[in-house]
Amino acid sequence: MTSEPWTSLDSTPGRRIFFRPLGIAETTFYWSGVLNNTADIVMHMHLRTTEASDQDILSKSNVMRAWASVKRRFPLIAAGVDEHESGLRFIIREETVMNIRPDDVTFTEVNSFHHAECFVYDIMDGPRRLSSQLLTRAYILRRTDRSDHFHIVVVLAHCITDAAGTSTVLRTFLDTLSSQIEPPYIPLGERVHMYRALENNLSSRDLPLVKQRWRRALGYAIDLVWMSRFKVFSV
């Protein structure tokens, strides 16, 4: 089973809207987050500046510039999910991709490393910080006890990413934050079509039978190696 491709609702430059139904895995992760407050990914980075001039890196204007740049390169983090009568569907609005919303980035202060850890634990164990229209949030935690230390916490819904994808978003954010160079990005109309549902990427129906068998054999071998790491030996 494969999901439908992206469709455009409005072709007006700057106001374009794209949507597609969620795939099977995406739907599972979405409802898991909504109903059980699970399946959200939280990444916590503890950083320290080495030069006095580095303090400008954490200025509000620079953080907002960097986050806006990341959204243009990874527009799915700016998506929302509409619970439409025909089923769940992703909605990507060009205005949301190109502009910063009030809850995209939150600045706050913590008075110690322990306080920062408690902040992260509260995100994981407390009320959900995400919603159907806010699938990604970033928090900048400034340390009142150590002005050269700060923390970045990024929260993403699992229906739009995985741990590897989240690491890529965070790395890109840090790279952009520390650089004044604005990297190029793929136009939104082209970029959205790269976001395919998982079952589309795994589909092998169009492959020759021999290649399908080789894919299954390789998958089985990789699975055996991976699962061998989790063997429990009894004494």
Model confidence at 202, in pLDDT bands (50, 70, 90)?
low
pLDDT at 23 over 80: yes
**Assigned token pair, 155:** 């929260």
pLDDT at 234 over 50: no
Is 32 inside a domain boundary?
yes
Is 132 inside a domain boundary?
yes
Is 117 inside a domain boundary?
yes
Please tell me the pTM assigned to this model.
0.81
pLDDT tens for residues 157-190?
Answer: 999 998 888 889 999 999 999 888 888 889 998 9
Between 224 and 49, where is the model more confident? 49
Pairing verdict, β 40-48 and 149-157: antiparallel
Predicted pLDDT at 235 = 37
Q: 165: domain CATH number?
A: 3.30.559.10
Is 178 inside a domain boundary?
yes
pLDDT at 209 over 60: yes
Domain tally, the chain: 1
Cβ neighbours of residue 44 closer than 8 Å, sequence gap 6 or more? 116, 120, 151, 152, 153
**Which residue range forms the structural domain that includes residue 70?**
7-196
Predicted pLDDT at 84 = 79
The CA distance from 168 to 160, in Å, is 13
pLDDT at 192 over 60: yes
pLDDT tens for residues 105-144?
Answer: 999 999 999 999 999 999 999 999 999 999 999 999 999 9
DSSP labels, 175-227: HHHT---------HHHHGGG---HHHHH--TTS-HHHHHHHHHHHHHHHHHHH
Is 114 inside a domain boundary?
yes
Is 121 inside a domain boundary?
yes
Distance in angstroms between the alpha carbons of the first and the last residue of the chain: 45
Instruction: Calculate mean pLDDT across residues 216-222.
Output: 74
**Assigned token pair, 196:** 């395919």
